[in-house]
Structure 1
Amino acid sequence: MIKRLLTVTILSFFVGMAMAQHSLTIHVTDADRNEPLLGASVRLSGTLYRGQTNASGVVVLRNVRAGTYDIQVSYIGYEPQTQQAAVTENQDVRFALSRATVLADEVVVRATRAGENMATTYKNMSEEDIAKNNLGQDLPYLLDQTPGVVISSDAGAGIGYTSMRIRGSDGQRTNVTINGIPLNDAESLGSFFVNLPDFASSVDNIQIQRGVGTSTNGAGAFGASLNIQTNTLNKDAYAELDNSYGSYNSWKNTVRLGTGLIDGKFSFDGRLSRIKSDGYIDRAMSDMQSFFLSGAWHGKNSLLRANVFGGKEKTYQAWYGTPESRLIGDVDGMHAYADEELTNYERENLLRSDRRYNKYLYDNETDNYQQTHYQLLFSSALTDQLTLNTALHYTRGKGYYEQFRDDDAYVDYGLLPVVINGSTINQLDLVRQRWLDNHFYGGTYSLAYKDSKGLEITWGGAYNQYEGGHYGDIVWSQYPLFTDDALPVDGDGSFKTSYRYYNGDATKKDFNTYLKASYQLNKLFLFADVQYRHINYAIAGIDNDLRDLTQDASFDFFNPKVGLTYQLSAASNVYASYALANKEPVRSDFTDWPIGQTPKAEQLHDIEVGYRIRSQQFNIGVNGYAMLYKNQLVPTGQLNDVGSTLRRNVDDSYRIGLEFDGRWAPTRWFSWGATLAYSQNKIKNFTEVVGDVENFYETTVISFSPNWVASSELAFKPWKPVELALLSKYVSRQYLDNTGNKDRSIDGFFVNNIRVAYNTSLWKLKNLGLTLLVNNIFNEKYASSGYTWGYYLSEADRVDYNFYYPQATANFLLGLNLKF
């Protein structure tokens, strides 16, 4: 069957190439002034072509097969147009674009985006791309087919806490903005999409910039930037219902409504979502709700938009992972681990479980968090060449996770042992809650100038402030917390009490300003970008280990970038860029660092070189990169007591790699998208410290940095309403620590999913859609992330415990979409 399919595909390709082919020349001008429009976007329906006009306002498409095509042309500030062209010979098609009656939402993110000819390695994802797999899994899972991405899920099936690495760099190194406003948590620098469940249903487009990328707001990008734009203007009223059900009792229910454009000036959009799942891992349930509300006033030259969105999540803890001994069925190993770490009932849980093991057994061992975002966006086209963007924002977050603790010592909570009936009690069972209570607010701005001769200058920046409280309460205890406490209040003799055992706060002030300039000179496109960033981070109070964390750190960063792109032809270009980036340590680097030591800021020199070619049948991007670090904070492979990665500075390290991103569509019914990333990720002169033992490595591998990451999407459309797709992902071996030791590593894995989609209009429905996504069809038993810790019994006798996050075996999601 597969051989026959390949034969048909190859034959159809050569038949298609042999068919009559012609050139199609597209001219785009301003309707009022009859002047050519440089940089107008041009799309050819039924093909992969996405291009831009040159300085003469022209796009020339060669080798266009005979047929009928819809040509779509758009340009910011102008009304988009579509013309149908029946190509039977060489043909010219002319577009005269009229000024838009309202200012488009695209201007909101323009300052932080890489353009078509910019010397930046990037990938754009449209609303249609995102919607294909949007059946309830978290946003990282919808980006899995992009270059160099490795995803993982604590609960195993992509619902709940998920993570994503790009080029081996985790979420703390990926700068995420929503409408140009930072999403990354100001202290951890991570982005937690679990706090915004089903956010993808309110996203219009995403640009992923790999490497340092262009200057933007928020934390510096050390692996990638994720630039997200939420829903833009839909001029027609609409209603949409999205429902899906799948394995592990997973549900997603979404309602979207929009008024369209009212009186030519106003629009309102809204979404409500609920996602629930029992999770693949035992008890790793998720119960999440979210909303998105947006209202806008659209003027001819101005746009005012208010967004309010947020989410509430309750997830059962699953971050502890599964011991290696449990995964391979090593009973002796499980007993050895239990002797070190577990109580008797936890031992029994481990022995009778399987790869879906969860250490936690307390009914309310849950994470509970609610986050609400407020955005006020204003854009104005001050003149034909000058555009102003400003935004105010405020994010309110509050929540806790609850833990049951066995036989904790009173002294660990700053308490003296209690005396009951003459007996001294030193340890007790208790339930504690650790809270976050934070506010994040600020403003962003950009002023962009663009003329018709290819010059563009943007000045922008932001000021943001974070204020966060960290505190912990004991909410139940087996014994009284103080000797003079009252008698037990429950019939079982337990004590219900409340005691705050630590309390601290943090303030972070972040200011940045940047200046970007680009200029097109014939076939040469020049780009320069410089950013200044100042951060002040102050911590005060007592942490959960009762240490006084009071300290103050300030950082001043100067981040220049420069690049050039040369247009080889109307369809292809080469580019090269250099960027310097600096990044501050995160909260856990300060709180978990050994007493008396201070983490250093990181520095990165990023060199990118690439080649891009676009045509109707294929789009290809090939690039090489060298990311050279000074004082990189690399994961040690260990976690702290709340599941956060422990890190340490290393003097000299690098990531050097090659990436391929391509799509081939030889016919209208078949396309093949593929990515391939190869990299070498090394630390020079690394010393591993385990207890009192030091091990030196002249060159070693950076943890969680696979040499190979590849993806493939084979898509077939046997008839118009139906699409069949095979999605494949390969990730090579990853190491849990920085020693390159195979005994502390994650095996490589190759996972395949199938997607079957049917979409059609029916009666008064704009769309009736059915999507079936079957994940891991070959039942691969794999883990995508993990951690390790160990110690030496003697100089030659080392003990290591590896933990993994097993991912779900074969599972499905079935979705129904109705658009009115």
Structure 2
Amino acid sequence: MNKKLVAKIFFAGVFFSLAKINAQSILSGNVRSDKGEAIPFAVIGIKNTQLSATTNSEGAYKFKNLKPDTYVLTTRCLGYLDKTDTITVAADLVFDPQLFASNKQLDEVVVNATRVNKNNGMAYSNIDAETLKKQNLGQDAPYMLNLLPSVVVNSDAGAGVGYTGLRIRGSDGTRINVTINGVPVNDAESQGTYFVDMPDLVSSTNNIQVQRGVGASSNGAGAFGASINFQTNELKDKPYANAISTAGSFNTFRNTIAAGTGLLNNKFTLDARASNISSDGYIDRAKSNLQSYYVAAGYYGKKSVLKFINFYGQEKTYQAWYYVLEDSIKKGNRTDNPAGLYYDTNGKPQYYKNETDNYKQNNFQLHFIHQVNSRLSFNLTGHYTKGKGYYEQYKQGQSLSAYNINDVITPKGDTITTSDIIRRLWLDNDFAGGIFNLNYTPNSKLAFTLGGGYNTYYGKHFNRVVWAQYASNSQIDHQYLFNTANKNDGNVYLKTNYKPVSTLNMFIDLQVRNVSHRFLGFNDSLAAKMQNQSYTFFNPKFGVSWDAYSHLNIYASVSMANKEPNRDDFVQSSPKSRPKPEQLMDIEAGVKYTIKNFYFATNVYDMEYKNQLVLNGKVNNVGAYNRVNVASSYRRGIEVEASANLNKFFTIGGNVTISQNKINNFVEYIDSSDAAYTISTQYKKEYKNTDISFSPNEISSLMFVIKPVKNMEITFTNKYVGRQYLDNTTNIKRSISPYYVTDARFNYTIKTNLIPEISFMFAVYNLLSTKYETNGYTYSYYTDATLNTFNYKAPAAPINFLGGISLKF
């Protein structure tokens, strides 16, 4: 990447914006309640600018140097309803906003501790409920984030339903911290997030914040590339009901019903949703059958909220995670899923019908929020998640001894040592804990948040044979493997915002996190023993934000993060070969320029890794292909966003990321075997300044919205993703080719006397039927000095459709 070009783009935003300064009026006043009482610590923001002010202890605020114009003010304060006012500033003006008491805003205390804003000096994006509703036709949550900066999504089945995932700045799901109402949902062992276990989560989501880079201190697995924070549905004052049905390509169907009581007796509320989603998927036998529900019951007192939330998901998906062999794709067979393949007694290929993944997950949250006074509020949350499921496989020619089954002696005296079997690999886990945050604002210049949490995980891994061609001494559900794992994760953090002057904010976030594992693994003698491993991390973050003038914000931050290895890293190594924790220093700087119909932002980042964990193909001392630490690597880039309302009919927006993602020194190991496939040695090859896998150097999105009539939108979106390498060798023969995809979406809402709101939705995905892949993996080996490489990729569907209708009562 041309560093001079990056600098020019970055500073052009600053100089362009500074050149626009032309302001001279003062806007001031006092924020008061409907009873005439002064409201301290209310936040007044001016729409389409970077300006905000916080009222002092007397409720007073002031904006200086405003040019004559019409402005939209938004006034917010905990314990009061938001207020929007439109005012005209022709000269100095005194304006006193009036707020009405409400406990509705107390819901936000749950997520505020893990959220960032323009004062924190970090890169982030917010998506509100209205935007989510327009996009949500039944695809999984990652696809709702597809157009955000630096985001690349993928789908095993090829059409966005079933197993899906995303990467942000090249970081995969195991490095992205995900929370729902502040509660961590990353799997404690693998550290990934499986959205397939939370079907139709977006239908119960009020807003999402995506933080790029280290982000703010959070709960659960440390953010090592990004954070995604979901806030579920907020309080609705009036009763409602909603029914949504969508249908489309690949026999995709989604039905959702939701209803709520509104606020009963001004204190109680109950909300519920149930969803069913099914799809055949694009690639062969990639079926998904997903069910979910969401229930929330709340008590809203004058200064307190007690809220219980339960959301449940279950999935049955035919295994599509093996993807499609690249040779098949080149021959035109883009849907050839090898999962479940076996050969019958005549040598003909067959596919096992129940090669499926089956999982149920039940999530419980209990939130207590209390506003002590205008300066002090706190939140206490308890949570529990129960997960249980298995995936089933048909395996041919398996050694009976590997399953603790005796060899079979036939009546003729022959010994049978192998058998076809059907096995189930089970996971049964419990995850529970508590989190808290205390928010204290002593004056208009200072704000503190003290937070933290403690979570514990207990998982049972067990494998069973449910059928065997030669069962020998085994019984029904013969268990041949069992082990457990326990993980405890505790953290405490203190966040401080200090405003020495109204236009400058300094941010400090200090976190201490302790993680301890107990697992069955290899000791130094390579014997399987229960072992313990613990780490204590210190993760400081510093940021500064300056409102250079009413339309321009300039910010910067420096953050540190540490991350522990995952379960496989522990159980597939011994203390001698065990990987070290990863470390990351993230430097961010950017500008945001906003005027009435135009928005521009640019952010540069430098993410410097120490001991980043990668696969290199080397067999360690326990015979496993485990991840290893690379001494130094980095991700450096620039993210540019812009949008413009050209007029009342047309809006255009987009973003582009240009980056370098490098490992300074990388060593690849490739197995070498003889004609009988007996591994004899490993070839070693060294690389310098090589690309990190799945980290494209260019990512961009473009959106064009047409509003021909009231309540109608026609949206065209374009997504470009540069080349992604399947491993860390920068070998073009082991890569996913760049792709450019166009989608179109139609939304139209009408209102009738019988049904208050009817919304029609229709989407065309991959409008030009581009042939591309979204994910993959590769492996290579030498046979008699001949290199054999096999690439498997996840093909995306050609042009496909989803359409639906929503009835709102």
TM-score (norm 2): 0.89
The verdict on how the C-alpha distance between 1:465 and 1:575 changes in structure 2, with shifts beyond 3 A counting, is same
Counterpart of 1:776 in structure 2 is: 766
Counterpart residue identity of residue 219, structure 1:
A
**Distance in 2, Cα, partners of 1:224 & 1:669:** 35
The verdict on how the C-alpha distance between 1:792 and 1:330 changes in structure 2, with shifts beyond 3 A counting, is farther
Distance apart, 1:99 and its partner CA: 3.5
Counterpart residue identity of residue 298, structure 2:
A
Counterpart of 1:454 in structure 2 is: 445
Counterpart residue identity of residue 430, structure 1:
I
218, 221, 230: which one aligns with 2:220? 218
Counterpart of 2:580 in structure 1 is: 600
Distance apart, 1:667 and its partner CA: 1.6
Counterpart residue identity of residue 362, structure 2:
T
SS in 1 for 2:108: helix
Q: Is 1:274 matched up with 2:276? A: yes
**Distance in 2, Cα, partners of 1:136 & 1:652:** 41
SS in 2 for 1:599: coil
102, 107, 110: which one aligns with 1:105? 107
SS in 1 for 2:401: helix
Q: Is 1:471 matched up with 2:462? A: yes
The aligned runs of 1:127-276 (5 Å cut-off) are 127-276=129-278
**Distance in 2, Cα, partners of 1:83 & 1:26:** 14
**Distance in 2, Cα, partners of 1:770 & 1:596:** 60
Counterpart of 1:17 in structure 2 is: none
1:27–1:59 Cα contact (<8 Å) kept: no
The verdict on how the C-alpha distance between 1:103 and 1:739 changes in structure 2, with shifts beyond 3 A counting, is closer
Superposed CA offset, 1:767-815 (max 9, x none)? 21001110000000100110000112245x3111011000111001001
The verdict on how the C-alpha distance between 1:126 and 1:140 changes in structure 2, with shifts beyond 3 A counting, is same
1:103–1:301 Cα contact (<8 Å) kept: no
The aligned runs of 1:418-567 (5 Å cut-off) are 418-421=408-411, 422-482=413-473, 497-522=476-501, 523-540=503-520, 548=528, 550-567=530-547
Q: Is 1:412 matched up with 2:402? A: yes
The verdict on how the C-alpha distance between 1:89 and 1:578 changes in structure 2, with shifts beyond 3 A counting, is closer
The verdict on how the C-alpha distance between 1:242 and 1:91 changes in structure 2, with shifts beyond 3 A counting, is farther
SS in 2 for 1:600: coil
1:27–1:57 Cα contact (<8 Å) kept: yes
Q: Is 1:801 matched up with 2:790? A: yes
563, 581, 601: which one aligns with 1:583? 563
2:405–2:471 Cα contact (<8 Å) kept: no
1:635–1:703 Cα contact (<8 Å) kept: no
1:503–1:542 Cα contact (<8 Å) kept: no
1:41–1:75 Cα contact (<8 Å) kept: no
Counterpart of 2:288 in structure 1 is: 286
The aligned runs of 1:641-680 (5 Å cut-off) are 647-680=627-660
The verdict on how the C-alpha distance between 1:547 and 1:613 changes in structure 2, with shifts beyond 3 A counting, is farther
The verdict on how the C-alpha distance between 1:440 and 1:35 changes in structure 2, with shifts beyond 3 A counting, is closer
SS in 2 for 1:451: strand
Distance apart, 1:666 and its partner CA: 2.7
SS in 2 for 1:326: helix
Counterpart residue identity of residue 268, structure 1:
L
1:28–1:97 Cα contact (<8 Å) kept: no
**Distance in 2, Cα, partners of 1:756 & 1:652:** 47
**Distance in 1, Cα, partners of 2:636 & 2:330:** 34
Counterpart residue identity of residue 519, structure 1:
Y
**Distance in 2, Cα, partners of 1:771 & 1:785:** 28
Counterpart of 2:364 in structure 1 is: 374
Superposed CA offset, 1:655-691 (max 9, x none)? 0111112221132221112011111000011111112
The verdict on how the C-alpha distance between 1:542 and 1:348 changes in structure 2, with shifts beyond 3 A counting, is farther
The aligned runs of 1:72-111 (5 Å cut-off) are 72-83=74-85, 94-100=96-102, 104-111=106-113
SS in 1 for 2:158: coil
Distance apart, 1:589 and its partner CA: 1.8
SS in 2 for 1:667: coil
Counterpart residue identity of residue 324, structure 1:
E
Superposed CA offset, 1:458-497 (max 9, x none)? 1110000000000000000111233xx7xxxxxxxxxx83
**Distance in 1, Cα, partners of 2:551 & 2:97:** 20
**Distance in 2, Cα, partners of 1:573 & 1:33:** 32
2:341–2:352 Cα contact (<8 Å) kept: no
Count of residue correspondences? 762
**Distance in 2, Cα, partners of 1:815 & 1:718:** 20
Q: Is 1:57 matched up with 2:61? A: yes
The aligned runs of 1:350-389 (5 Å cut-off) are 361-389=351-379
**Distance in 2, Cα, partners of 1:670 & 1:411:** 68
1:436–1:471 Cα contact (<8 Å) kept: yes
The verdict on how the C-alpha distance between 1:171 and 1:101 changes in structure 2, with shifts beyond 3 A counting, is closer
1:417–1:425 Cα contact (<8 Å) kept: yes
Distance apart, 1:106 and its partner CA: 1.0
**Distance in 2, Cα, partners of 1:101 & 1:680:** 47
**Distance in 2, Cα, partners of 1:289 & 1:51:** 44
1:369–1:399 Cα contact (<8 Å) kept: yes
657, 676, 685: which one aligns with 1:695? 685
Distance apart, 1:343 and its partner CA: 5.8
TM-score (norm 1): 0.88
**Distance in 2, Cα, partners of 1:768 & 1:103:** 28
**Distance in 2, Cα, partners of 1:734 & 1:639:** 25
The verdict on how the C-alpha distance between 1:347 and 1:39 changes in structure 2, with shifts beyond 3 A counting, is farther
Counterpart of 1:818 in structure 2 is: 807
Identity of aligned residues (%): 41
**Distance in 1, Cα, partners of 2:540 & 2:118:** 21
The farther-off stretch of 414-423 and 560-569 is 414-423
Superposed CA offset, 1:547-595 (max 9, x none)? 8363221111111111111110122211111111000111122234489
SS in 1 for 2:224: coil
The verdict on how the C-alpha distance between 1:328 and 1:376 changes in structure 2, with shifts beyond 3 A counting, is same
The farther-off stretch of 167-176 and 570-579 is 570-579
1:573–1:612 Cα contact (<8 Å) kept: yes
The verdict on how the C-alpha distance between 1:191 and 1:791 changes in structure 2, with shifts beyond 3 A counting, is same
The farther-off stretch of 748-757 and 519-528 is 519-528
**Distance in 1, Cα, partners of 2:45 & 2:428:** 45
1:24–1:93 Cα contact (<8 Å) kept: no
The verdict on how the C-alpha distance between 1:412 and 1:594 changes in structure 2, with shifts beyond 3 A counting, is farther
The verdict on how the C-alpha distance between 1:597 and 1:309 changes in structure 2, with shifts beyond 3 A counting, is same
Counterpart residue identity of residue 456, structure 1:
A
Q: Is 1:122 matched up with 2:112? A: no
548, 554, 561: which one aligns with 1:574? 554
Q: Which segments of 5 or more consecutive residues in structure 2 lack a partner in the other structure?
A: 1-22, 672-681
395, 405, 408: which one aligns with 2:385? 395
Counterpart residue identity of residue 792, structure 2:
F
1:149–1:167 Cα contact (<8 Å) kept: yes
Counterpart residue identity of residue 663, structure 1:
S
The verdict on how the C-alpha distance between 1:330 and 1:647 changes in structure 2, with shifts beyond 3 A counting, is farther
654, 661, 664: which one aligns with 1:684? 664
1:637–1:787 Cα contact (<8 Å) kept: no
**Distance in 1, Cα, partners of 2:700 & 2:118:** 24
Counterpart of 1:756 in structure 2 is: 746
2:396–2:419 Cα contact (<8 Å) kept: yes
The verdict on how the C-alpha distance between 1:639 and 1:731 changes in structure 2, with shifts beyond 3 A counting, is farther
The aligned runs of 1:323-334 (5 Å cut-off) are 323-329=325-331
**Distance in 2, Cα, partners of 1:770 & 1:27:** 44
The verdict on how the C-alpha distance between 1:731 and 1:347 changes in structure 2, with shifts beyond 3 A counting, is farther
